[in-house]
Amino acid sequence: MKGVTSRPGNRRTVTGRPPREYRERLVLASFAYWLGLLAYLLVEPPQTWLLAFLALLVALATDGLIRSYAGQRLRRLDDTVLGLVLPVLFAIGGAVFVELAVDGYWALLASTAVALILGAIIHAECQCHSPQTSAFIRARMVSHIACYLTAFLILATLYSFDVELSLPLQAIGTAVTGTLLSLELLRDASAQTRDNLLLALATGIVMGQVSWTLHLLPLSPHAGVVLLLLTFYLLTGIAHHVLAGAFNMVALAEFAGVASIGTGAIIATHRLF
């Protein structure tokens, strides 16, 4: 009797669970990030090099875990590049957001939650590199949700009252964030990498332009973040439908409805905050 399933290049036990070694490495990666995050939160003033160290740690850990999960199918250095984008951005965004928004003992609870979510994101990215498994669809759903959560964390940081960034830096940060997260969201929409890249770049550029115009609108920073998130959702959703060849009147009506609800949320946020 074989000890693993017959799926090529995917080392899983007969119970469908990843090998114990993989699970232990995933827990170790999350724990190491948690310790690094605590160090970043405890050191005053915050040290940028610690943030860079966390990003490097998450990138190396994610790369190793993806290759371990996928077996021997991923041999080139660039095979895992797209899979590193979301975990690294979430690790950075989560760390800075907790540092700015959470005080006291709540920071310990928040950092634990961020580390656990990061572990779930890394595991989802590993499953996304094995599309022949039954967990692929669920993993992509987790990745999509994590993309919007990461966008919120980073945008809320960029437009925080505690972060004094110039207008060009805010626009550039928004554009880069939109482009990188769009690459993650659109990578399964089409087999044409060039089309995915062009639409991701277009999404980032438009978000940068919207960021620039926020300073001309009578909106609070909170409402501005909601507007940017709405823009990001609409742009990536439309791009995904276009790449998949599923953009029709039904999809257009759906996005129009979301835009209407989102506009109401922006107005409500502006009046409340």
pLDDT tens digits for range 94-122: 999 999 988 888 999 999 999 999 999 99
Give how far Cα 54 sits from Cα of 107, 140, 265, Å.
17, 24, 34
Asked if residues 162 and 100 have their Cβ atoms less than 8 Å apart, the reply is yes
128-162 pLDDT, tens digit per residue, is 877 666 788 899 899 999 999 999 999 999 988 67
Model confidence, pTM: 0.86
Nearest to 53 by CA among 63, 65, 42, 39: 39
Residues of the chain with pLDDT under 70: 1-17, 72-79, 131-133, 161, 190-191, 273
pLDDT of 1: 37
Burial class (CB in 10 A: 0-12, 13-18, 19+), 52: exposed
What are the structural domain ranges in the chain? 19-164, 172-273
Residues 6+ apart with CB under 8 A from 143: 86, 121, 124, 125, 128, 184, 185
